[in-house]
Amino acid sequence: MNLTTDERAILDGRDGTRKQQYMDWLVRWGDAMGATDLIPVTNVQTSGISAPGNLVPLDSDNVVRETLEQVWEFTAEPVSVPTFTHVARMTLDYPQQRQTPQVMVDSQSQVIDRARDAGINLTWTCAPYISGVVPTKGQICAWTESSAVVYINSILGARSTRNGSESAMAAAVIGKVPQFGALTDMGRFGDFIVDVDVPLLDPADWGALGYWAGEVAGLKTPVFVGLPSPSTVEAKQLSATLATTGGVTMFHIVGVTPEAPELSAVITDATRRERFRFGEQELTTAYQRVRTLRGSTIDYVVLGCPHASLEELQAIACLLHDRQVHDGVKLEVWTPYAMKALAQRLGYVSAIEAAGGRVLSDTCPAVSRVGQGHSMATPSFKQAHYAPGMLGAEVAVGTLQQCIDAALSGTWEANL
């Protein structure tokens, strides 16, 4: 890599061993990816800034200590650019009902103080763009949540590669990232075309499209033709599933993605004109493929993957109005803490709680590895994809309305 005099001096240890290590990570990562330069980054979403929660047995003091030591290492240098955090490993909500060990509550409080002092904003969400962290077109970012990386590249026109905890922390402290992939003009062209020949009537249908297209794409960039402008909630589902079955960094929707006013703007090479069709059959098959639920009993409903927006919280509160979640069913809505605070003020949280549900922040079942049931209904293909392996749950995916109906009846009646 070509380094400036200043970058070389940091790599040589001028600013201490920790910055030297971060610069070394960035240079080695850039070398591996074929980058030639470091460029300034203006917005970072890092991860791993959290107590371990239920990810470790309580009697494994060493693991708890080692996890916190890593957090202390990550927060030893102040960040130099605006930095926010991916989800935590635990929630601080409903500690009594969830029997959260006091040692974890105390540890998380220490993490909050420590991160704040390092300049890190503990947003603890996988969907920062629904709670005020909204990068603009062309802005260079280093984000860790794969679905959010896809969202900001494809819907906002911002630029981020897919980062891990280490590269994001290095970017946050050094203020630079190696320029490759989606950070370059060349790395943002489409690789193949998907003609969407079926109306997508619900955000879950957009998740189904991404679930199917991610498998086709692998690491490539799909270009969707025939789609209307998605809502934030729909785009959230499409982004999440493309990064679930595939390793997609961005997609284009012709007429929607800022760089794709027309097909010819993003498909320029004749060899990239392979076309696929997503129709009724592919839509139905996606729902069938993700379903692992064998019977029709539901004891767990998970909403908010990626984290629920305020409009989703409002919709859930309305659907539950004056009704009661079925005995034995746990209904959870996961959202950023900022959205939960707004929803509390607006009465949505109390409405959901009055119906027997809970609104939780900072993490999710798949990441915290804390499930509340064995037979899950969710509108999220991503949560459904991971729940069997991470929570041991059987899952069915349907619309928000179908999932609320399942919460109220304890039964999965959707034909999916």
* Cα gap 252→196, rounded to integer Å: 13
Sign (positive/negative) of CA torsion 304, 310, 315, 317?
Answer: positive
The only residue of 382, 394, 397, 403 in contact with ligand F3S, by rule CB under 6 A: 382
* C-beta separation of 224 from 230 below 8 A: no
Contact code string over 65-104 relative to ligand F3S, x by CB under 6 A: ----------------------x-----------------
Please, what sign has the CA dihedral across residues 202, 203, 205, 206?
Answer: positive
In angstroms, the CA 15 to CA 175 distance is 14
Q: Which residue of 142, 235, 367, 414 would you call a contact of ligand F3S, by CB under 6 A? A: 367
Using CB under 6 A as the binding criterion, the count of chain residues that bind ligand F3S stands at: 14
Q: Cβ-count burial of 346 within 10 angstroms (0-12 exposed, 13-18 middle, 19+ buried)? A: middle
Tell the smallest beta-carbon distance from residue 363 to ligand F3S (Å): 7
Identify residues 133-162 at the interface with ligand F3S (CB under 6 A).
147
Stretch that binds ligand F3S, among 91-99, 150-158, 270-278, 305-313 (CB under 6 A): 305-313
- Pick between residue 29 and residue 337 the one whose CB is nearest to ligand F3S: 337
CB closer to ligand F3S out of 200 and 364: 364
The structure tokens listed for 82 are: 């605006």
CB 71 within 8 A of CB 118: no
Contact between 305 and ligand F3S (CB under 6 A)? Answer: yes
Q: 3-state class of 246 per DSSP?
A: coil
Both tokens of 238, joined, read 């499409």
315-322 — which CB contacts under 8 Å span 24+ positions?
Answer: 315/400, 316/348, 316/352, 316/357, 316/400, 316/404, 317/343, 317/347, 317/348, 317/351, 317/352, 319/400, 319/401, 319/404, 320/351, 320/352, 320/354, 320/355, 320/357, 320/404, 320/407, 320/408, 321/351, 321/355
Q: Does 240 bind ligand F3S (CB under 6 A)?
A: yes
Q: Which is nearer to ligand F3S, 67 or 179 (CB)?
A: 67
x-marked contacts with ligand F3S along 311-350 as a string, rule CB under 6 A: -----------------------x----------------
Q: Give me the least distance between CB of 126 and ligand F3S, in Å please.
A: 3
The answer to whether residue 306 forms part of the interface with ligand F3S (CB under 6 A) is yes
Of 50, 67, 123, 383, the one binding ligand F3S (CB under 6 A) is 383
CB of 334 to ligand F3S, least distance (A): 6
For ligand F3S, which is the closer residue by CB, 83 or 241? 241
First to last CA, the chain: 51
From 364, 395, 403, 414, residue interacting with ligand F3S (rule: CB under 6 A): 364
Q: Is 360 in the site for ligand F3S (CB under 6 A)?
A: no
Residue found under tokens 């079942």: 365
Pick from 233, 290, 366, 407: which binds ligand F3S (CB under 6 A)? 366
Helix (H) or strand (E) holding 409: helix 400-409
Which residues form the interface with ligand F3S (CB under 6 A)?
Answer: 87, 126, 147, 240, 305-307, 334, 364, 366-367, 382-383, 386
